[in-house]
Chains A and B, each alone.
Chain A
Amino acid sequence: EIVLTQSPATLSLSPGERATLSCRASQNVRNYLAWYQQKPGQAPRLLIYDASNRATGIPARFSGTGSGTDFTLTISSLEPEDFAVYYCQQRSNWPRVTFGQGTRLEIK
């Protein structure tokens, strides 16, 4: 099973700052990686798919990079509504998928 490791576990930043979240895969997942945002009491929301493609309606401040085993989600300038938990997910053997353990982005 491919394991995804997200870092840091918690990231404390202020609005307007740049956020950089990491996701590392235990094996090569090519570009088969997605990112989700989850706010309390809500279902996850798709942000990025195929490592770097923004989902419909996602603001341009969200961007994804990487391939193989190392991936990054960047939020260029944090808005108050961006503070949430972020998960990465791989699908190298679709439809079978695994998720990372999440990064909590909190207000400093």
Chain B
Amino acid sequence: QLQLQESGPGLVKPLETLSLTCTVSGGSISSSTYYWAWIRQPPGKGLEWIGSIYYSGDTDYNPSLKSRVTISVDTSKNQFSLKLTSVTAADTAMYYCARSQGTRHDYWGQGTLVTVSS
């Protein structure tokens, strides 16, 4: 059974960089079938796609966040990571990692809450 687990600091100061890692277990991140995505959800609000990465390193980002986002992959560790620079209170959210296949995201991590505050 595939499992995804987010990890990283729960509190980030304004204007600093948010860094999260998603560890994939029960399957290989190097499969040619899937992309791997980061999605976030501000408290009480809807879902926002941040970006996705292929095992080869190819990426695509939400245009509204593109200037601040970097997603990378480490196939040796079966992990992919998110960096979001110059964060503000508007970046406070639950951050999810997920597997992307075709139309859908079929496996999700449990999510990790990141709060931006001094």
Q: Out of B35, B62, B108, which one reaches A44, CB within 8 Å?
A: B108
Main SS of chain B's interface residues? strand
Chain A contact residue count (CB 8 A cutoff): 26
Contact A46 B49 (CB under 8 A): no
User: B117: CB under 8 A from chain A?
Assistant: no
Inside 8 A of B102's CB, which chain A residues have their CB? Answer: 49-50, 91, 94
Chain A: CB-nearest residue to B107: A46
Chain A: CB-nearest residue to B61: A96
User: A1: CB under 8 A from chain B?
Assistant: yes
User: B25: CB under 8 A from chain A?
Assistant: no
Contact A96 B49 (CB under 8 A): yes
Inside 8 A of B46's CB, which chain A residues have their CB? Answer: 87, 99-102
Closest 3 CB pairs of A and B: A95-B52, A49-B104, A43-B108
Q: List 7 A-B contacts (CB under 8 A).
A: A31-B103, A36-B47, A50-B104, A89-B105, A91-B102, A96-B60, A96-B62
